[in-house]
Amino acid sequence: MSDRDASTPRVFLARHGETEWTINGRYTGITELELTSRGEKQVLGTGRRLVGPGKLIDPVQLERVFVSPRKRARKTFELLFGADSELAALEKVEFTEDIAEWGYGAYEGLLGEEIIARRKEQGLDIERPWDIWNDGCEGGESSEQATERLDGLINRIRDIQRPYMHGEKPVDIVLVAHGHILRAFTKRWLGIPMGSPLGMMLPPGGIGVLSYEEHDISAPAFLVGIALPLEEG
């Protein structure tokens, strides 16, 4: 995006901080876990640098914040914006299952190798290895179901941002959620089928940025780099 595109609406992806299951790699969907002390520091560090008046994520520029209802995402929202954030008072915050983590079903709490072993015992994956993007989860969410709910949220966001593509009104959006579903959201934002490969990484407490090319609602894009606002003083 060129400098003249600075007013184009953006969508910020905020991943929750570290939990105990983040550390050991267990699939964490509906299980309610607290952030570790390190996880809280990750989010606070991100918030100090990137969230606030005149910073990358300026509350004044936000139209809506969509937050996963899981405890770890709620805590991350509070740490990023402050427990008494004016955003809540202005009814700009929505806690919604639309951006909850992928439904892992029978794989909840398992390690990747445990899932592979379980499926092998069931006689599955004979022709190719299990791939959640294509195969979904036993007793949980399929790729098609995840696509449907994320596409619904994306349509809502586009309806919000469509009238203001040239900065007529600040309508930035923040999603506070989970690593897997935020990567899935990115695929669908770009119009990429869930099963198509797209290597992405978003660390705990990290922020990603999506937007549009040339102020065009039909040209969704992701920002591979960002320039931070100048600090005053």
Q: List, as residue ranges, the binding site for substrate.
A: 28-29, 72, 101-104
Q: Which residue ranges are tagged as binding site?
A: 28-29, 72, 101-104
16 assigned to active site: yes
Which three-class secondary structure string do you get for the chain? CCHHHCCCCCEEEEECCCCHHHHHCCCCCCCCCCCCHHHHHHHHHHHHHHECCCCCECHHHEEEEEECCCHHHHHHHHHHHCCCCHHHHCCCEEECHHHCCCCCHHHCCCCHHHHHHHHHHCCCCCCCCCCHHHHCCCCCCCHHHHHHHHHHHHHHHHHHHHHHCCCCCCCEEEEEECHHHHHHHHHHHCCCCCCCCCCCCCCCCCEEEEEEHHHCCCCEEECCCCCCCCCCC
Which of 18, 101, 108, 141 is catalytic? The answer is 101
Residues noted as catalytic = 16, 101
